Structure 1
């Protein structure tokens, strides 16, 4: 990320599922604090994406007519059909020159954040110098996603990265589609894993509160917290913005 940007540099517009409070607002504050040179805007997608359209139009009014007004970063760890549709409709409605980035995952920093959330619940131990597992109280991990089967497929690289960090089997399952959490648990127990942890690959607003913990309880597993407003997630969002700038 450049330490300085010209006034006409695109705004970083964070597109948040649901409303713009809680996790989304905390992430926006973290990004602003770490990157004061970036104009950070936060738009709740709600049910129609109109707030995102308004933010894009406002960003465009502050920039030259032929310049990219904004870089939209979805606050998601993977693809989500509802969010994809809302962002596309909002961008089209704004008639503003915009770049929309991919979701925040897969990425090594995402795997690191998941590892930290596991360790906070004593479901993984970490060498704090390298943030690698040194011994484990569990035998395997289920990486839980939402957003349908495509989101589960896209989470596979993150699962591989997390498995490498933990030196444990990690399977992807979906909280709202196939492959089901129960099926993943059955596969893991079939290879001898008895102590299983569920790791929600979610910021939080993507799923109803308690959905991940309920799924873990059903299979007799422990559950890590959702990622929430982790500083590594804020870092990923800033990196997504910076990667677009560097590609131009």
Structure 2
């Protein structure tokens, strides 16, 4: 199994991807390597150039669809790596909603208080659709109103959603991010600037997410949707 995360210059970000990959690999009982699209090493294309006894299963550590999943990762596989088997993004999924609830409660949020689920954002409609689904999944586990927001691309603004939620009680912003990095810092800064009362931790190295990675691996291996090498 090869996981592929976006990458970040912040030191803690790659450690989350590596920790999740190691846990998922142990659950599956298979060799597991972590890679990154950019900013962090080893890069995805470098890992794909290694010799494999069988086509590797690629599990994107991404919470929704978008440019990376729709274009960048498949193109890299076709150009330098294939053949390989590509799994879907981790989210949206009920296990991620469960981890979000844990982060909310851990931050001191009460179940009847409003929440803004904040993502980095995408220019692709599929990314926004996935975030909307993630919001509905969280709403099914949280009695206070859940709104979604993005800091780039398509979707409602974080400032507008925090302002709308303030009339309903103390507002908690939940970053819809796996790891610390630029967007986690930006969401935290904007949230407090806009009047949010608290911001939760990112999802992080969580056993439920390792289980989700393992499920994505098994699904991809069973469906065998193999991408060929270029040519």
The interval holding the TM-score normalised by the smaller chain is: 0.7 to 0.9
Task: From 115, 119, 128, give the equivalent of 2:105.
Answer: 119
Structure with greater helix share of residues: 2
Larger of the two Rg values belongs to structure: 1
- TM-score when scaled to structure 2? 0.83
Once residues 182 and 50 of structure 1 are traced to their aligned partners in structure 2, the CA distance between those partners, rounded to angstroms, is 36
RCO higher in structure (CA 8 A, sep ≥6) = 2
Alignment of 1:1-248 (within 5 A): 12-18=1-7, 21-36=14-29, 38-46=30-38, 51-60=43-52, 62-63=53-54, 69-82=55-68, 84-124=70-110, 136=111, 139-149=113-123, 150=125, 151-177=127-153, 178-189=155-166, 192-204=167-179, 207-221=182-196, 222-248=198-224
RMSD value over aligned CA atoms?
2.4
Closer/same/farther in 2, CA of residues 14 and 59 from structure 1, 3 Å limit: farther
Closer/same/farther in 2, CA of residues 59 and 106 from structure 1, 3 Å limit: farther
- Per the alignment, residue 5 of structure 1 pairs with none
Q: What is the Cα deviation at residue 112 of structure 1? A: 0.2
DSSP-derived class of the 2:156 partner: coil
- Per the alignment, residue 228 of structure 2 pairs with none
How many residue pairs get aligned? The number is 216
Structure 1 gap ranges (5+): 1-11, 64-68, 125-135
Q: Deviations over 1:19-71 (max 9, x none)?
A: 683111111121123222x22121122259983223223253x23xxxxx012
- TM-score when scaled to structure 1? 0.78
Structure 2 gap ranges (5+): 225-231
The answer (yes or no) to whether the contact 1:17–1:83 under 8 Å persists in 2 is: no
Closer/same/farther in 2, CA of residues 236 and 206 from structure 1, 3 Å limit: farther
The answer (yes or no) to whether the contact 2:184–2:202 under 8 Å persists in 1 is: no
The answer (yes or no) to whether the contact 2:87–2:219 under 8 Å persists in 1 is: no
Q: What is the Cα deviation at residue 188 of structure 1? A: 2.7
Once residues 238 and 207 of structure 1 are traced to their aligned partners in structure 2, the CA distance between those partners, rounded to angstroms, is 27
